[in-house]
Amino acid sequence: MRSRREHFAALVASQPENELFRFSLAQALVAEGQAQEAAIHFQACAERKVDWMMPRILLGKTLLGLGQKADARPWLESALALAVAQSHEDPERELRALLADFRA
């Protein structure tokens, strides 16, 4: 039986432009501890769909986990702008808290 990562990697290979497959692959990679590779896929999703908040949040968090704070900040800031614009209150609170750490 294939792992989630293998399953979604095969789907991405067959349909590389499908952001949902790529997003699911990124989530599976994070779950398996492959954060650097996951970041590539989260970034691809974020760049292809400029109004999609979740890949930005997860990319920012992934980059923070990798110690890449400066790279994470713009993604978290753009996610916050989308959270506000789209009236997503819980992500907005979470993002404000994450970004407050940058000022501390």
> What is the model's pTM?
0.94
Burial 35-67, CB ≥16 within 10 A → b, else e: bebbbebbbbbbeeeeebbbbbbbbbbbbbeee
Q: What is the pLDDT of residue 34?
A: 97
CATH number of the structural domain spanning residue 14 = 1.25.40.10
Q: What is the pLDDT of residue 104?
A: 64
Burial 83-102, CB ≥16 within 10 A → b, else e: beeeebeebbebbeebbeee
Q: What is the pLDDT of residue 1?
A: 83
pLDDT along the chain (104 residues), means of 10: 93 96 98 97 96 98 96 98 98 96 78
Residue 26 belongs to domain spanning: 4-103
For the segment 25-49, what is each residue's pLDDT rounded down to a tens digit? 999 999 999 999 999 999 999 999 9
**Total domain count for the chain?**
1
